Amino acid sequence: MRFGRKGKLSTRYVRPYEILHRVGEVAYELALPAELDFVHPIFHVFMLKKCLGDPASILPVEGLGVDEIFFYEEVPVDILDRQVKRLRNKEIATVKVLWKNILVEGATW
């Protein structure tokens, strides 16, 4: 049973938690919140996943135009490139779109 839920589709990793200290060679004690007090706070290394948080990847919410229910609408700004993919029997035209509030590297086909 994972974090109070049964079944193979239950969440495997919940969220990042602070490591309080190392217990033995391969176990760590985590600072779990009050709603997870039924879970033992000491975990083996294979049950933990490294959290690679990058502060530069966090965008401020003020400039994005997010409404009160945190809905974000992506608006296309420009078409950067066009290409035609040839399959066996047909051709598919695709375009590379630049979106509002996204850098050029984030443009999608």
What is the Cα–Cα distance from 42 to 73, expressed in whole angstroms? Answer: 42
Where b means 16+ CB within 10 Å and e means fewer, 66-95 reads eeeeeeeeeeeeeeeeeeeeeeeeeeeeee
pTM as predicted: 0.43
Of 10-14, 86-90, 92-96, where does mean pLDDT reach its minimum? 10-14
Residue 11 has pLDDT above 80, yes or no: no
pLDDT tens column, 20-67: 999 989 999 999 888 888 888 899 998 888 877 766 766 666 666 656
Q: What are the residue ranges spanned by the domains of the chain?
A: 1-58, 59-106
| Burial bucket for residue 34 (CB in 10 Å: 0-12, 13-18, 19+) | exposed
